[in-house]
A and B are shown apart, each in its own frame.
Chain A
Amino acid sequence: MSTAPRPGEEGGHGVRGPHVPGSRVSESHVPESRVPAQRAAVEGGAGRSATPLVRSHPLLKSLLGAWALAACSPEETAAVEAHLTDCAPCADEAVRLRDAVALLHPEDSLDLDPGLRARVLTAALNRRPARIPVPEWAAPYEAEASRLDALLRDIGETEWRAPVRLGWFDGRSPVTREVTVADVIGHLTAVDTIVAGALGMADPLRGASPEERTEALWAAEQGDRTPASVRAAWRDQEQTLIRTVSFAGEAAAELPVDYGPFALPLRDAFLDRAFECWTHAGDIAEAVDYPYAPPSPAHLNGMIDLAARMLPGAIAARRRAGLAPPARGLVVAGAPGRALHLEIEGRGGGHWYIALDSPGATGTPEGEVAHVALDGVEFCRLAAGHVPPEEAAAGSLGDEEAVRDVLYATASLSRL
């Protein structure tokens, strides 16, 4: 849309300075300015047939808002200013509206420091302890959902239509799929129903895998939902989950959650949901070119720990599928065996010893046959299937097969 020449504009498209029409008001109270102002109006009106000459008091009064905003034609501006010298009520209102324009400000940056939420809530809870706290293991999902919700609130309608690239690792190679922001949120909503079902809420797709649930929801929605309703459906369910486990308390922590191909205790399922929420928020942020920070170190640590604990099972599953070489030896359950020392650097990092020979074995420093070091966020990108295992920026020492098994198994934790 082209912008017509405007009264009160002094060229340039930067931040507006004090309003010119406003400053003219005080001048126009001076009787001497009457004549030129009126003449300008007459000349302007005579020269242009598109804008009829405006003279009636109601019309001039109706123009005061537009005038104060410098949003009238030059002829109208001149006519209003001429009128202001004659009409005290309009002149009073003009000053008032001009002063109001000075109060208009561009909105401050919408982005609050993501760490502020935890600081504010912690300070409040120190002043008055919660009678119904959010279980510690549910806190990462609560925090990640809050961050994603803020992102969704900030992005505009057009950004909702941005293509988002989802990526994961299917065991052999990376897979990508292009969807919409609404599809991503639908996916999160669909997989959350697994947790909802475990907590006794209605779950018509009981037993279905995350993929099956997602495909079912996508097939049912066919893009006819508004961004607000898609966001609300996800957020309402998520808040209900947090609320339900708050009331259920620690007793619920070990409830089994059936993902179909595998199961997790509820406390881990919440970590899984936090991880997926962050991962897909990152996918959306990348698609709409917003910055998106990693989770808080404590929450990141929990997510890394969950992945590390799932690795022995993932290695075994790859072996059963013929995707990894067989184990080197049988280990009695609970006994120490060969281990890979996983060193995660950066905030939220730490040391994990991954049992290599059996999910039932215990990884210990004594069994270390290999050492892999990588950054926490990079590890999570690998576990999300966003980095192919052979490209993960990892430093390694020791048994190369063990290193390869662990990096591939990490990528294999990812799914749609």
Chain B
Amino acid sequence: MTNDAPPRWDRRMQQRLTHGEAAALGELYDRFASLVHGLAHRVLGDEAAADRVTREVFGHIWEHPEEFDPREGPLRSWIAGLAHRHAVSTLRRTEADEERPAAEIEEKVRAASAAARADYIVTSMPAPLRAALDLAYFRRLDYRQTAVRLGVTEDEARRRLRLGLQLLSTAHDGPRAVSPPGGGAALR
């Protein structure tokens, strides 16, 4: 996996986008489109809507590359946050159009946000933790088998599974990336 682009790559990409280099936009898309589309799809559950969010997000980055501040974290996190905000605001609009009760909308937004944050946490967590969760959950190995497969001690396998889930559980915490209705700073 190439999740961890060095900060230098991020800054260089920002410069190239600011400079108006179309080839940089293509490279940005190739690296982050599946992240953006995946998060949007998790929130909205709809292919066409996720396509639209993807278009919005890359259009926004291309128009406003200066909004990215490398001191606040990697480009990847910034883009994930943008994708999340765009997707959630789309979800709110769609649900409001259908005249759902506000509480129901908020519950749906909360659940969708947690699911999307969880996806992001899984794709961003250290590879050893991710590999352990993959074996124990998706391949249904117990932790001893997981330890053997990973070539680590049973202690270490237990530690990785617990730590991985602890990281994942933070997805339920923050409405950090969720903007209030109509108030997303990054929304146009």
Could you list which residues of chain A lie within 8 angstroms of chain B, going by C-beta atoms? Answer: 1, 3-4, 6, 9, 13, 16, 62-66, 68-69, 71-73, 93, 96-97, 99-101, 103-108, 110, 112-113, 116-117, 119-121, 123-125, 127-134, 142, 146, 149-150, 228, 239, 242-243, 246
Contact with A along B1-37 (1 / 0, CB 8 A): 0100000000000000001111101110110011001
B168 at the interface (CB under 8 A from A): yes
* Inter-subunit contact B19/A62 (CB<8 Å): no
Say whether, besides A103-B118, A146-B30, A66 and B157 are in contact (CB < 8 Å): yes
Q: Does B163 reach chain A (CB closer than 8 Å)?
A: yes
Closest 9 CB pairs of A and B: A65-B162, A131-B20, A65-B161, A103-B118, A130-B22, A100-B169, A66-B143, A124-B62, A100-B168
Task: Tell yes or no: B178 within 8 A of A by CB.
Answer: no
Q: Which B residues touch A66, using CB under 8 A?
A: 136, 142-143, 157-158, 161-162
**In whole angstroms, how far apart are the Cα atoms of A128 and B66 in the complex?**
14
Q: Are B22 and A69 in contact (CB under 8 A)?
A: no
By beta carbon, the residue of chain A nearest B18 is A131
B122 contacts A by Cβ under 8 Å: yes
Contact (A150, B63) CB under 8 Å given A65-B164, A119-B55 = no
Instruction: Specify the chain B residue showing the minimal Cβ separation from A63.
Output: B158
A-B contact pairs, 8 of them (CB 8 A): A9-B140, A65-B158, A72-B143, A100-B172, A120-B54, A127-B59, A146-B29, A243-B23
- SS of B interface (majority): helix
**Residue pair B165, A65 in contact (C-beta under 8 Å):** yes
B166 touches A97 (CB 8 A): yes
A134 contacts B55, CB within 8 Å?
Answer: no
Is B95 in the interface zone, CB < 8 Å from A? no
A20: shortest Cβ distance to chain B, in Å? 13
Given contacts A104-B133, A112-B33, contact A146 B26 (CB under 8 A): yes
From the candidates A112, A129, A131, name the one contacting B34 in the complex (CB within 8 A).
A112
CB–CB B37/A112 < 8 A? yes
- Cα–Cα, bound, A121→B51 (Å): 12
Check if B38 is an interface residue, CB within 8 A of chain A.
yes
Q: Are A101 and B58 in contact (CB under 8 A)?
A: no
Of B23, B115, B149, B171, most A-chain CB atoms within 10 Å: B23
* Given A106-B138, A124-B59, A131-B20; 11 other pairs, CB 8 A cutoff: A6-B140, A71-B143, A103-B168, A105-B42, A119-B55, A124-B61, A131-B21, A132-B23, A142-B26, A239-B27, A246-B21
Which residues of A have CB within 8 Å of B141? 1, 3, 71
B47 to chain A, nearest CB (A): 8
B41 within 8 A of partner (CB): yes
What separation, in Å, do the CA atoms of A71 and B161 have in the docked complex?
Answer: 9
Cα(A119)–Cα(B33), bound, Å: 12
User: Could you tell me if B146 and A62 are in contact, using CB atoms closer than 8 angstroms?
Assistant: no
B52 to chain A, nearest CB (A): 10
**Which chain B positions have C-beta within 8 A of A228?**
2
On whether the beta carbons of A71 and B58 are closer than 8 Å, the reply is no
B13 to chain A, nearest CB (A): 12
Taking CB atoms, residues of chain A closer than 8 Å to B143 are 66, 69, 71-72
Q: Which chain A residues lie closer than 8 Å to B37 at the CB level?
A: 112, 116
A69 to chain B, nearest CB (A): 5
Q: Which residues of A contact B122 (CB under 8 A)?
A: 104
**Distance in Å from the Cβ of B115 to the closest Cβ of chain A?**
6
Indicate which residue in B34, B158, B165 contacts A110 across the interface (CB closer than 8 Å). Answer: B34
Q: Given that A124-B58, A134-B22 are known contacts, is A71 also in contact with B142, CB under 8 Å in the complex?
A: yes
Chain B residues closer than 8 Å to A131, beta-carbon distance: 19-21
User: What's the least CB distance linking B80 to chain A, in Å?
Assistant: 15
Query: Cβ of A132 and Cβ of B137 under 8 Å apart?
Result: no
Contact for A142 among B21, B23, B155, B165, CB less than 8 A? B23
CB distance from A127 to the nearest CB of B (A): 5
Q: Is the CB of B59 within 8 A of A1?
A: no
Complex contact A6–B164 (CB within 8 A):
no
CB of A121 within 8 A of CB of B26, answer yes
Query: Which one, A4, A104, A130, contacts B137 given CB within 8 A?
Result: A104
On whether the beta carbons of A4 and B23 are closer than 8 Å, the reply is no
Most chain B beta carbons < 10 A, residue from A103, A125, A146:
A103
How long is the Cα–Cα vector from A376 to B142 in the complex, in angstroms?
52
